[in-house]
Structure 1
Amino acid sequence: MNILVTGGAGFIGSHVLEQLNTKDDVQVVVYDNLSSGAISHVPERMELVEGDVRDNQALEVVFAAHSFDAVIHLAAQTMVPFSVAQPVLDCQINLGGVLHVLECCRRYGVPHVLFSSSAAVYGDNPNVPLKETEVVMPTSPYGVTKMTTEQYLRVYHELYGIDATVFRFANVYGERQGEGGEGGVVSIFCKLLSQGKGVTVFGDGRQTRDFVYAGDIAHAIICGLSLKGFHIINVSTGKETSLNELIRCFALAVGTQVSVTYTEPRKGDILRSVLSNAALKKQLHLTPAMTLERGIAKTYTWYKENQ
C-alpha cells in the first residue's frame, strides 16, 4: 500500500509514521513544510517532501510521481487562539490546503482520504459524552474549518466516489507534542514541572477533559485505512478526567507533590468535555489502550530527556 501523509513530521504525524514504519507492505511519502514538525520524526526509509499544502503546484508534483492508495491528511494550523486572531490565514491553511489535497486525489484517482478533525466541531455542548450524531456548533474559526472540511469530504465522496474517514480527536497528548495546539495543557505542565516549577490552574481544577494518547490516535487512523464509504468517528477514551486528576498523575510521574496555584476561571472555558467512543468500538473494534497514568509518565519522561 502506498500512502501519503501530509503533516507527517508533526506531533500526531510522528506517531502515525512510527507505527507505519513497522509494516513492510506499506510505502510512505511524507509531505510537510516543517513549520512545527521535524525531519528527525521521519523514519529513514520514508520519503520526505518539504512543501506546504497551500502550494498546489508542489502537491501536483508529488501526486503525479506516485500512485497513492490513501492520503492521511494531518497538515493543519492547530491553534485555536491563532485562528481567532488570524481567521483568514487559518482558513487558507486548513480549508485551502485540504481542497488542494482533495482535488489532487480526484485528478489522480486516490480512493481514500483520512482526515484529522477535532472535538472543536462540537463547541460548548453539555450533552456529554458527545456522540457523532450531535449537532456541530463550533465556537472558533479553527472549529469552523474542521466542520467545513468534514462536509467537503462528504460531498467529494458523494460526487466523486472518494472514500473519506473523519476522525474527531479528543484532547490528544503524548511525546513530541508542542505547547500551542489542542490538549497542550499536558506539554505545558511537562515543561513547567521539568524545570522544577509549579503549575497554574484556571478555576478549581474540577473541569474535565477527555485525554487520549497520541499512539492510540495513530492506531485508530491506521486501522481506518480499511474502511470504505464515508465515516465520522470520535477517537477518545470516553472518560472524563478532571485537571486535578491529571495533576495527580503528574505527581506520580515526577515523584513529588506538584505545587498548584488556582486562579480565576477563564471566560469561555468549557467545564466538561468527553466524547463517546461507541462508534470507534463498533466500526474499528478499538478501545484506546493507554492509561492516563502510564501515558503521562511516558510523556513526562520523554519531555525531560529531550527538552
Structure 2
Amino acid sequence: MDDLTQRMDRVLPYSLGSEALLSARQHSPKGSERPVTTNEIVVGGGGLLGRHVLSVLGNRLSRRVRIDWDDHVRACGQLYELGRELAEQPTRWNLYWCAGLAVFHTPADQVERERIQAGLLLAGINDGLERAGSPSSGALFMASSAGGAFAGSEGAPFTEFSAPVPKNPYGEAKLAIEEESETLARRWQFPVVSGRITNLYGPGQNLSKNQGLISAIIKAQLTGEPLPLRAALETTRDYIYARDCARMVVTAMDTVRSRTRGTDPHVCKIFSSGRPLRIDELLQVAERLFDQPVPVVHERVAGGPNADLSVASRVWADLESSPLLSIEEGMRAVRSDLRYRLGLD
C-alpha cells in the first residue's frame, strides 16, 4: 500500500484554474444520449441521494459498487482500483458518486477521510486514462454541497457564478474535490458534473445524521419530543425532494456528453428546487398540514452558515423545468414514511 499512501498524500487539493464557470448559453438543451448503451454505476447507494438515483435508474442500473467504508485503507484501495478499472474500459459508462456521511458540523478528521476516499477514486481514473493511452468513453457525477460552498459567501441568492466561501472543513473538502474533478476533466476532456446539492429531504432520511430539518420537524410532531433548533427562525434554505434531485442528476448524466461537446468538460451545477423557505415557514406548513404543533427548543449556536442560503441555478436550468414536488406533498411523503418507521401505523 506504499504507492497508495503516497497518492493519498498528493491527491488533493488542486488550485482552481482561471477559466470561468460554464454559462447557461454555452450549454443549451440537447437530446438524450440514452439510445447508446451505457453502463450505469453507483457508489454510495445506501444514502438518501444514492437510493433515489438507484430507483430512477431502475433496470438501467449496471452495478452498485460495494465499498468497505469501515476500513479506511481498504476502502481507499477499492475506490482507486474502481477508478482505474473503469478508465481502462472501452465501453461507455456513467459513474455516480453519492457517497459520504459528513455534514456541515462533522469533525475535521472524518471529513478528511471522505475527502481522501473521493480523491483516490479520481486518482484511479487519472491513472487508468494514462495506462489506456486513449480517450475515455466514461462520464462522472460527483455529489457536492451548495451549503458547504456558500456558507460564508455574500449576495444571496447564490448561483454557479457566485464566489464560494466555505466556513469549515466540510465546505473546504467539498470544494477541494470539485477542484480535483475540474483538473481531471480538463486534462483528459472527460465529462464531469460537480453537483452542488441544496438541502436534500425525503422518505428514508437517516435521522441519526445532524441534518434533515424537514424529517426532524415531522418526527417532533409525531413523537412529541422537542426539536432542538440551532438556527434562527428567519434562516432561509432551499429544500429539494430526493426523488426530484435524483431525476435531475440522471438526466444531467444522460446528456452530459452532448452538453459539454466542444466546451468545458467540467460542469459546476446547482441542484435545487428554486423555492427558498424560512424555518418559521416550514414550521407553519407542517402545523397547517397536520393540524398539530411542532414542539421546539431553541439552542442557538454561534458561527454557523449564512442565514440566507437561497440559490438560483443559471447552468443547465432546463433540468429544473419539470414540475417538482411541492413542499406540502413532500412533507406528506416524509410523514407517511416516518409513521411506518416509528411503528405508529
Fold similarity call, TM over 0.5: yes
**AA of the residue aligned to 1:138:** P
What is the root-mean-square deviation in Å for CA atoms of aligned residues? 2.9
Q: Indicate which of 22, 29, 33 corresponds to 2:63.
A: 29
Q: Are residue 18 (structure 1) and residue 55 (structure 2) matched? A: yes
C-alpha contact 1:201 1:262 (8 A) present in aligned 2: yes
Alpha-carbon distance in structure 2 between the residues aligned to 1:128 and 1:81: 22
**Which 10-residue stretch deviates more, 124-133 or 284-293?**
284-293
Seen in structure 2, the aligned counterparts of structure 1 residues 97 and 58 have a Cα distance that, compared at 3 Å, is closer
C-alpha contact 1:210 1:275 (8 A) present in aligned 2: yes
Residue 293 of structure 1 and its aligned partner are, at CA, apart by 1.3
Deviations 1:30-89 (A, max 9, x none): 1133769xxxxxxxxxxxxxx835524652696479945211111224323224354542
**Which 10-residue stretch deviates more, 233-242 or 101-110?**
101-110
What is the correspondence of 1:47-58 to structure 2 with a 5 Å cutoff?
Answer: 52=75, 54-56=77-79
C-alpha contact 1:71 1:112 (8 A) present in aligned 2: yes
Deviations 1:89-146 (A, max 9, x none): 2432343344335545775734211111111122322311101011122122222222
Q: Are residue 222 (structure 1) and residue 259 (structure 2) matched? A: no
Alpha-carbon distance in structure 2 between the residues aligned to 1:192 and 1:35: 31
* Higher relative contact order, chain-length normalized (CA < 8 Å, sep 6+): 2
C-alpha contact 2:69 2:75 (8 A) present in aligned 1: no
Number of residue-to-residue matches in the alignment: 289
Q: Secondary structure at the match of 1:100?
A: helix
C-alpha contact 2:238 2:311 (8 A) present in aligned 1: yes
**AA of the residue aligned to 2:57:** L
What is the correspondence of 1:195-214 to structure 2 with a 5 Å cutoff?
Answer: 195-214=223-242
**AA of the residue aligned to 1:145:** A
Tell me which residue corresponds to 1:300: 335
**AA of the residue aligned to 1:227:** V
Tell me the TM-score normalized by structure 1: 0.82
Q: Are residue 118 (structure 1) and residue 145 (structure 2) matched? A: yes
Seen in structure 2, the aligned counterparts of structure 1 residues 262 and 177 have a Cα distance that, compared at 3 Å, is same
**AA of the residue aligned to 1:79:** V
Q: Indicate which of 95, 98, 115 corresponds to 1:71.
A: 95
Tell me which residue corresponds to 1:4: 41
Q: Secondary structure at the match of 2:221?
A: helix
Alpha-carbon distance in structure 1 between the residues aligned to 2:69 and 2:332: 27
C-alpha contact 1:234 1:277 (8 A) present in aligned 2: yes
Residue 286 of structure 1 and its aligned partner are, at CA, apart by 2.9
Alpha-carbon distance in structure 2 between the residues aligned to 1:146 and 1:17: 23
Deviations 1:10-34 (A, max 9, x none): 211111111111xx5x242011337
Q: Which structure has the larger Rg over C-alpha atoms? A: 2
Tell me the TM-score normalized by structure 2: 0.73
Q: Indicate which of 221, 245, 267 corresponds to 2:281.
A: 245
C-alpha contact 2:80 2:121 (8 A) present in aligned 1: no
Alpha-carbon distance in structure 2 between the residues aligned to 1:34 and 1:246: 37
Alpha-carbon distance in structure 2 between the residues aligned to 1:106 and 1:68: 17
C-alpha contact 2:217 2:294 (8 A) present in aligned 1: no
Seen in structure 2, the aligned counterparts of structure 1 residues 110 and 141 have a Cα distance that, compared at 3 Å, is farther
Q: Indicate which of 162, 174, 177 corresponds to 1:146.
A: 174
